[in-house]
Amino acid sequence: MPHALSDDIPKPALSWALLPTLLLVGSAVFLYPFRLVVIGYVLIAAALALAWLFDRRGMTTGLARDLLLIAVGMIIVSTISVKADISWGNFFLVGVVLAAAVAAPYLLSRFVFKDHAIRFPWRTGQKWTKVQWGYFGLVLFLGWLILPFYFISSGVYLNWPNVTTPDEIGRLFVGVNAVGTWDELFFICTVFVLLRRHFPFWLANLLQMVVFVSFLWELGYQEWGPALTIPFALLQGFTFTITRSLTYVLIVHLLFDLVVFLVIVHARNPMPFFLVQP
């Protein structure tokens, strides 16, 4: 049976848990797009202090623990720039740091707090419906239709390196897919799932979206990119709630990222199958 999310227990939208959580997710805006890490760390400290106080007074339950797990991952990511850079040194540096940002909350949860909230449900035992299979095709079509216009008209493709040699193209492909995989492991299976213990689905989804979109902005999805990344982040949270499957949401993300990779290459090396040409 698929692991039951904590959405099985109704929770109020307005609670004492909201204030420290808003401080925590708001810190992502300073940590990533603006790189004002001192302000970000102050907000994180305030969030954790309030959560600890609220737990101690019985106003919340387990909030400090769950926000701490999220904060650990966010702080680890903030130690480096995640702007697209596929030089060999940065390629491995980013890989190690992002892996640590997922591993640290998981290990703390499992072995320090003796908790099993953070899971990575690759196999759920549930068959996907025809609609769910069809969604894969819709993702590819919408990516093919929208992404070339976004990347080329806004010029954000310049946020990614110009790849010409086979090893550069290979590193770009691996990097795009590795970051896409990490997005689901951290933002959905860690941030979203932990927030679902304290908030109703729609609010937890909005809160995780703030962190998700902030990270994607620094990565390179700028200009009017949030018009794409906000609904994408929300849809991934919704899809995970419906399917309870990391495998499913990861396939969706990687199909989208396949088009992202092709468009980045296309922006400097035109391909005839895209409608928008550079």
- The pLDDT value recorded for residue 125 is 78
Render pLDDT for 190-237 as a digit per residue (tens, 0 to 9): 999 999 999 999 999 999 999 999 999 999 999 999 999 999 999 999
Q: Which of 26, 1, 59, 31 is nearest to 198 (CA)?
A: 59
**Residues in the chain with pLDDT < 70?**
1-8
pLDDT number for residue 6: 54
Q: Chain centroid to CA 266: how far? A: 25
Q: How far is C-alpha 178 from the geometric centre of its chain's CA atoms?
A: 12
pLDDT of residue 211: 98
Q: Are 48 and 183 in contact (CB under 8 A)?
A: no
